[in-house]
Amino acid sequence: MNNERINRLQEAMARAGIGHAFIANGPDMFYLIGYATLPLERITALSIPAEGDAVLFVPRLEAPRVPEGTVEVVPWDELDDPIAMMAERCRGEDTLAIGDHMWSVFLIRLLEKVGSPRLIPASEVTRKLREVKDETEIDALRRAAAGVDRVLARIPREVRFAGRTEKEVAADITRMILEEGHDEAGFAIVASGPNSASPHHEPGDRVIQPGDAVVCDFGGSVDGYFSDVTRTFSVGEPSAKLVEVHSVVHAAGTAARDAVRPGVACQDIDRVARRIIEDAGYGEWFIHRTGHGIGVEVHEHPYIVEGNDAPLARGNAFSVEPGIYLPGELGVRIEDIVVCGEDGPDTLNQATRDLMVVE
């Protein structure tokens, strides 16, 4: 069965000296054959030799879930030993690539049967494929971004903040993510007042107050591809401090997105954003990288971070999300998904980046 993505993976494996790859669970499996496994104790594993036919070992009761036409399916029965079937496929190979999301219990059982081959995380070969999105993938990312943009447009009109808990606001956002066409609502961070200074705050029982800054960071998936967007709201009229910090973050994000084009190093996008925040005197409060790749995972390669000197390529999709976090006081983050186009940025999110006042 011909599968273009598997073919390209096999070419990469051959170049890297990898004899066989096992992918169980997770985004690599979805990327290669469009199948989202059930992450249960019965293993589902793609078995991919550097040369020859790939097969999917799947529990017989789950075989009907596998999309047709992307790989040869080998169902295993309750009394079979799927790990032995896998071991048989890679006999004699001295280098194996193991999917990043394969449970350690499956790997341990496999190693009991095949000895001690050299092991490589499969992401070392799959990331090169997944980093460059094709038109179908960009289209899915664009539809996902448009969905959360519509949620952002509804928030000031429909969501009351003051007097309600972060959890209640997060529940509203989660509902709207689904209403606006997502298949799954992945996450919704609502971080209010002093909590807004915690970038990955878990929405809690804090009651939102007039005068709060509220960071809302949310997304989900459309056809398996993720959205991820952040805007910062002001409950009632913003303080002078919030207006100032917001304008610095806004400028950093704009400059970083404008700098996107093929050949620019990932770390240079980070530096553009960081320089603006440092020059404004907030450098020590920009405590995370500028962005992350996005696709069939919310966070994937390429990472927009100091130390990553890999050049951007056409089709890379990633977030640009500078932030400033003043402990105990307030935080601001603005996040957009950008695709590196042929000669500049293709920003998927179009929702306003102005500081929006909510009630």
Which range binds Zn ion by CB under 5 A, 59-67, 126-134, 213-221, 324-332? 213-221
Decide if 118 contacts 17 (C-beta within 8 A).
Answer: no
Contacts with 189 (C-beta within 8 Å, 6 or more apart), sequence order: 170, 200, 201, 202, 203, 215, 216, 217, 218, 230
> For Zn ion, which is the closer residue by CB, 89 or 231?
231
Buried b (16+ CB within 10 A) or exposed e, 301-327: bbbbeeebeeebeebbbbbbbbbbbbe
> For Zn ion, which is the closer residue by CB, 28 or 335?
335
* Backbone conformation region of residue 330, classed left if phi is above 0, alpha if psi is from -120 to 50, else beta: beta
Q: How far is the CB of 219 from Zn ion (least distance, A)?
A: 6
Q: How far is the CB of 151 from Zn ion (least distance, A)?
A: 13
DSSP string for residues in 7-51: HHHHHHHHHHT--EEEEESSHHHHHHHS-----SSS--EEEEESS
Residues 82-101 close enough to bind Zn ion by CB under 5 A: none
> For Zn ion, which is the closer residue by CB, 25 or 230?
230
* Sign of the alpha-carbon dihedral angle for 30, 316, 347, 297: positive
Q: Minimal CA–CA distance to 34: which of 70, 62, 75, 73?
A: 70
Does the footprint of Zn ion cover residue 44 (CB under 5 A)?
A: no
Q: How far is the CB of 299 from Zn ion (least distance, A)?
A: 7
Please, what is the Cα angle at 284 between 300 and 201, to 5 degrees? 55
Which range binds Zn ion by CB under 5 A, 53-61, 107-115, 270-278, 332-340? 332-340
Which range binds Zn ion by CB under 5 A, 27-35, 51-59, 104-112, 212-220? 212-220
Contacts with 16 (C-beta within 8 Å, 6 or more apart), sequence order: 120, 124, 125
Q: Which residue has the tokens 């290669």?
A: 32
Which range binds Zn ion by CB under 5 A, 54-62, 132-140, 224-232, 266-274? 224-232
How far apart CA 119 and CA 117 sit, in angstroms, is 6
> For Zn ion, which is the closer residue by CB, 126 or 319?
319
Which range binds Zn ion by CB under 5 A, 30-38, 161-169, 209-217, 301-309? 209-217
Contact map string, positions 299 to 328, toward Zn ion, x by CB under 5 A: --------------------x---------
Q: How far is the CB of 288 from Zn ion (least distance, A)?
A: 7
Contact map string, positions 230 to 259, toward Zn ion, x by CB under 5 A: x-----------------------------
The single residue among 228, 297, 300, 336 that binds Zn ion, judged by CB under 5 A, is 228
Pairing between strand 213-222 and 336-340? unpaired
Which range binds Zn ion by CB under 5 A, 75-83, 201-209, 227-235, 347-355? 227-235
Q: How far is the CB of 318 from Zn ion (least distance, A)?
A: 9
Q: How far is the CB of 346 from Zn ion (least distance, A)?
A: 17
> For Zn ion, which is the closer residue by CB, 101 or 299?
299
* Sign of the alpha-carbon dihedral angle for 119, 32, 124, 105: negative
Q: How far is the CB of 135 from Zn ion (least distance, A)?
A: 23
DSSP string for residues in 175-196: HHHHHTT-SEEEEEEEEEGGGG
Does the footprint of Zn ion cover residue 221 (CB under 5 A)?
A: no
Which range binds Zn ion by CB under 5 A, 113-121, 140-148, 217-225, 348-356? 217-225
Q: How far is the CB of 356 from Zn ion (least distance, A)?
A: 17
Q: Minimal CA–CA distance to 298: which of 197, 203, 230?
A: 230
Does the footprint of Zn ion cover residue 217 (CB under 5 A)?
A: yes
> For Zn ion, which is the closer residue by CB, 123 or 230?
230
Q: Which residues pair with 57 in a beta bridge?
A: 45, 74
Q: How far is the CB of 229 from Zn ion (least distance, A)?
A: 7
Provide the residue type at 325 as one letter.
Answer: Y
How far apart CA 24 and CA 32 sit, in angstroms, is 12
Q: Which residues bind to Zn ion, rule: CB under 5 A?
A: 217, 228, 230, 319, 335
